[in-house]
Amino acid sequence: MLKRLHVKNYVLIDSLDIEFPEGLVIITGQTGAGKSILLGSIALALGGKADISMIGEAGDSCVVEAEFETSSPSVEKILEDNDVECDGGVLILRRVIGKTGRSRAFANDCPVPASVLSSLSAELIDIHSQHQTLLLADRRFQLSALDHYAKDDVLLAECAAAYKEYTEKKTELENLDTRIARIAGERDYDMARYSQLDSASLQEGELEALESEQKQLANAEEIKENLCAVESMFTSDDASSGQMSVDAILRETERRLEKVAQYVPSVRPALERVASARVELDDILSDISDLNSRTELSESRLAAVEERLSLIYGLLQKFSCRDEAELIAVRDSLKSALHDSSALEERRAELAEEVSVAKQKLDTAAAMLHEAREKAAPAFAAVIQESIRFLELQYAVFDVELGEAPVSQSGKDSVLFRFSSTGKNPVDISKCASGGEMSRIMLCLKEMMARYTNMPTMIFDEIDTGVSGSVADKMGGMICRMGDNMQVFAITHLPQVAAKGKAHYVVSKETDPDSGKAVTTIHKLSQQERLMEVARMLSGSSVTDAAIANARSLLSEK
């Protein structure tokens, strides 16, 4: 139940801190006093939409805090899932809106997304707004009302799970079919591309080696000419000109220094260096000779290398690759895709079977749900019809027509509420019920749903619109009986309803004479104040003795 409401700087509410009892709580006030503002503040604390227009003139932010007393396992599960401590059955929900319009949400002082407050509110409180009678025309609401009576929560959960599994499997199969069709359409193209790359027998690092070989082959004649010249300088002597080879010069130098070393020992290091240089030059000459012997003057090999390079360059351009490594990756990818098509066909056969099994499971769950609804529908209609007739529609007929709908998480049923105030030819309730009749029918449905959902708190915002007299008194009695098992807030303009219940609060709007600012307040009435408020509702602005006597009579009947 809602124990306490704290509001600060919300629209026209400067500051409010009020406690509420269990049972039936009556809230009244003149039109425009701010009852909707009070209701809006509660909705904000329960995760409703927040915007900067909600901030009043008394500061840069507003705060709404609602304290609940709860022992619901569902509430505890939501708190546990969001790492929020359950403080001994006390739950405090708080919303803070800053001057930028952004809001923060808290549950037991722990920051949480606003969606968590919404999830919690679904387990804590049901707010029936002034225009919610329009829900009577909503087939989903009608189905939900029947399900509450049938107590088919487990079957609904099973059907929803089966529907989720079926749609997921079906979507996966559709996506797989699309992929297989795309692969089939591209198979010939991909096969041609793969064959071209596969026949190229590409090797990583091949391009660099070929480019180097092509450069050597293209310049082989010049290379051999220079290598031969170097060999000649190392080894050839020209006796006619007296020119000696490099090797001969070093050998002669070594011989002469050997003689000098006999007399000048200090020249021996120079001798050793010359000997070392000659050995090093012999190695260099050997490498040059080897390179010279390996250098080919082959036009056919040059043509083969250039042809291979041309092939690789063409493949790089065609497949938009930078090197042969990327070409190899494309080739392997195409090979994998061509191979996967057969594996995908196997997976499709498996998935088709899974879809079939999931569909059978869904059909079974939907059939069980239909059976439960079909069994509950007559009794449900009888209960609502009895309640409607109690509210002075003594000839009214209310029945429930089950039809077939496309399968969904709610099964394969559609529900139509049919109504007739005269007892003849009931038709779609949205096409025949007046405003007052809609209010009475909605109250009957809400009373039934509250009983079967164990909702701890319910707020009725002028559900008695369009009724008066003894009907209003009976509606008040019905709301009062609901208050025996739960906390009920009834926002009303009818004295017959206002006279019911354990506690009575008045919402009023006052204007500060200095600032001219309008402020909305709410306070609990004493017994005498309650008598005068009911009398005011009976007689208008001028409270008469007769109205007071009538009010006293109404209050004594509660």
Q: Which residue has the higher pLDDT, 129 or 226?
A: 226
pLDDT at 167: 95
Q: Name every residue whose Cβ is closer than 8 Å to that of residue 202 and which is 6 or more positions away in sequence.
A: 312, 315, 324, 327, 328, 331
Is a pLDDT exceeding 70 seen at residue 204? yes
Give the SS3 label for residue 184: helix
Q: In degrees rounded to 5, what are phi and psi of residue 129? A: -80, 170
pLDDT at 203: 87
Q: Which ranges in 129-152 belong to alpha helices (H)?
A: 139-150
Q: How far apart are CA 348 and CA 119, in angstroms?
A: 39
Distances (CA, A) of 241 to 105, 237, 245, 448: 106, 9, 12, 130
H or E element that contains 539: helix 527-539
Share of the chain above pLDDT 70, in %: 95
Could you read off the pLDDT of 124-150 as tens digits, one per residue?
Answer: 888 877 666 666 778 888 998 899 899
Q: Using CA of residue 59, residue 61, residue 64, residue 65, what is the dihedral sign?
A: negative
Confidence of residue 383 (pLDDT cuts 50, 70, 90): very high
User: What is the mean pLDDT of the segment spanning 401-418?
Assistant: 93
Q: In degrees rounded to 5, what are phi and psi of residue 418? A: -115, 145
Range scoring the smallest mean pLDDT among 245-249, 380-384, 534-538: 245-249
Q: Is the pTM of this model over 0.75?
A: no
pLDDT at 132: 61
Confidence of residue 239 (pLDDT cuts 50, 70, 90): low
Q: Name every residue whose Cβ is closer than 8 Å to that of residue 209 and which is 6 or more positions away in sequence.
A: none
pLDDT at 94: 94
How much is the mean pLDDT over the chain?
85
Q: How far apart are CA 94 and CA 108, in angstroms?
A: 8
Q: How far apart are CA 385 and CA 440, in angstroms?
A: 11
Pick left, alpha or beta for residue 285 (phi over 0 → left; psi -120 to 50 → alpha; otherwise beta).
alpha
Most distant CA pair in the chain: distance in Å? 157
Q: Which residue has the higher pLDDT, 416 or 138?
A: 416
pLDDT at 238: 61
Could you read off the pLDDT of 460-479 as tens digits, one per residue?
Answer: 887 777 777 788 778 888 88
Q: In degrees rounded to 5, what are phi and psi of residue 24? A: -85, 125
pLDDT at 378: 95
DSSP summary character for residue 402: E
Q: How far apart are CA 498 and CA 475, in angstroms?
A: 11
Share of the chain above pLDDT 90, in %: 27
Please state the separation of Cα 426 from the chain's center in Å. 43
Nearest to residue 500, comparing CAs of 492, 509, 508?
492
User: What is the mean pLDDT of the segment spanning 403-428?
Assistant: 91
pLDDT at 235: 74
Strand order in the sheet with 62-69: 13-19, 2-10, 62-69, 90-97, 103-107, 110-112
Nearest to residue 150, comparing CAs of 364, 444, 369, 399?
369
Is a pLDDT exceeding 60 seen at residue 495? yes
Q: Name every residue whose Cβ is closer than 8 Å to that of residue 78 and which is 6 or more positions away in sequence.
A: 116, 119, 120, 123
Q: How far apart are CA 291 and CA 80, in angstroms?
A: 80
pLDDT at 64: 94
Could you read off the pLDDT of 505-528 as tens digits, one per residue?
Answer: 999 888 877 777 888 889 999 999
Is a pLDDT exceeding 80 seen at residue 245? no
3-state per-residue secondary structure call for 335-351:
HHHHHHHHHHHHHHHHH
Strand order in the sheet with 397-408: 397-408, 411-420, 427-428
Rg (CA), the chain: 47
Could you read off the pLDDT of 248-303 as tens digits, one per residue?
Answer: 888 888 888 888 888 888 888 888 898 888 888 888 888 888 887 777 777 788 88
Do 156 and 489 meet the contact criterion of CB atoms below 8 Å apart?
no
Could you read off the pLDDT of 427-438 as tens digits, one per residue?
Answer: 988 888 777 788
Could you read off the pLDDT of 154-191 as tens digits, one per residue?
Answer: 999 999 999 999 999 999 999 988 888 877 767 777 77
Could you read off the pLDDT of 42-97 as tens digits, one per residue?
Answer: 989 998 888 888 988 878 899 999 999 988 888 888 888 888 887 778 999 999 99
Q: How far apart are CA 56 and CA 431, in angstroms?
A: 42
Is a pLDDT exceeding 90 seen at residue 100? no
Q: Which residue has the higher pLDDT, 126 or 337?
A: 126
pLDDT at 237: 64
Nearest to residue 2, comparing CAs of 456, 447, 452, 451?
456
pLDDT at 242: 57
pLDDT at 243: 66
Token digits of residue 514: 């200095």
Confidence of residue 358 (pLDDT cuts 50, 70, 90): very high
Q: How far apart are CA 215 and CA 125, in angstroms?
A: 86
Confidence of residue 558 (pLDDT cuts 50, 70, 90): low
